[in-house]
């Protein structure tokens, strides 16, 4: 609950700081999560996990300056594929949740026809459900909330279409395993490829 209140406070603060001439548009955004885990110990190997995300977004731009803010409320599927280095273990752990990225964007280009943007900002992930029992180990404890930093870039086309690539770097652990892995934990680092349509 405290995390939800923090997100709302940030959103309100950003909203109050937006100049009157800013353009506010709504849209829908979706894409792929390409996730890989970074384990706290070096006794496991990992493979990429592919999930998806989709949800509404708001795009706010200040026309003359090129600055803007976008925020999304996304249903997001993340996870990790891992195994032991001797090949004895091969597991997949999935995680479903709500992701709320809020990015500051700078756009430069050819007006409404095309533009290139760079973006950065915080991302909040709230866990809804996921695997907590897996065959090789007794328990996985998912974190209820995660904080990450986004870095991204993309294209704006015809004032409606946005194509983007984003790298999501977690600041806290995504999950922790039980004593079967001696308390090992991991962070889910994620590349995101997105398509957005702005109405």
pLDDT at 8: 45
Rounded CA-CA distance 101/121 in Å is 7
pLDDT at 141 (0 to 100): 75
Instruction: Show the CA angle centred on residue 153, arms to residues 152 and 159, nearest 5°.
Output: 130
Instruction: Give the C-alpha separation, 92 to 14, whole Å.
Output: 38
Question: Is the Cβ–Cβ distance between 96 and 76 less than 8 Å?
Answer: yes
Q: List the chain domain ranges.
A: 2-198
Question: 3-state DSSP call for residue 86?
Answer: coil
pLDDT at residue 71, as a whole number? 95
Q: How far apart, in whole angstroms, are the C-alpha atoms of residue 141 and residue 95?
A: 11
pTM of the model: 0.78
CA–CA separation, 79 and 67 (whole Å): 33
Q: Which portions of the chain are predicted below pLDDT 50?
A: 4, 7-8, 11-12, 14-17
What pLDDT is attached to residue 121? 96
Instruction: Give me the DSSP letters along 142-175.
Output: E-SEEEEEEEEEEEEETTTEEEEEEEEEESS-SE
Q: What is the pLDDT of residue 65?
A: 76
If you ran DSSP here, which 8-state letter would residue 136 be given? S
Plot region of 47 (φ>0 → left; ψ -120 to 50 → alpha; else → beta): beta
Count the alpha carbons within 13 Å of 21 in the hemisphere toward its beta carbon: 6
- How many other C-beta atoms lie within 10 A of the C-beta of residue 80? 27
Whether domain 2-198 has CATH 2.40.160.20: yes
Q: Which of 128, 134, 166, 196 is nearest to 34 (CA)?
A: 166
């Amino acid at each position: 609950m405290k995390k939800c209140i923090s997100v709302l406070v940030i959103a309100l603060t950003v909203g109050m700081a937006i100049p009157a001439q800013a353009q506010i548009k709504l849209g829908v955004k979706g894409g792929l999560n390409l996730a890989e885990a970074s384990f706290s110990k070096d006794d496991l190997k990992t493979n990429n996990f592919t999930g998806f995300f989709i949800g509404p977004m708001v795009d706010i731009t200040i026309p003359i300056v090129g600055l803007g803010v976008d925020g999304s409320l996304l249903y997001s599927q993340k996870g990790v594929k891992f195994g032991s280095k001797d090949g004895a273990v091969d597991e997949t752990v999935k995680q479903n949740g709500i992701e709320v990225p809020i990015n500051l964007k700078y756009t430069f280009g050819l007006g409404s026809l095309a533009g290139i943007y760079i973006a950065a900002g915080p991302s909040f992930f709230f866990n809804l459900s996921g695997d907590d029992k897996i065959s090789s180990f007794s328990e996985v404890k998912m974190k209820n909330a995660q904080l990450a930093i986004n870095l991204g870039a993309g294209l704006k086309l015809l004032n409606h279409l946005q194509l983007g690539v984003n790298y999501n770097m977690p600041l806290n652990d995504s999950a922790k395993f039980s004593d079967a892995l001696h308390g090992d934990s991991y962070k889910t680092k994620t590349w995101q490829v997105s398509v957005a349509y702005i109405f």
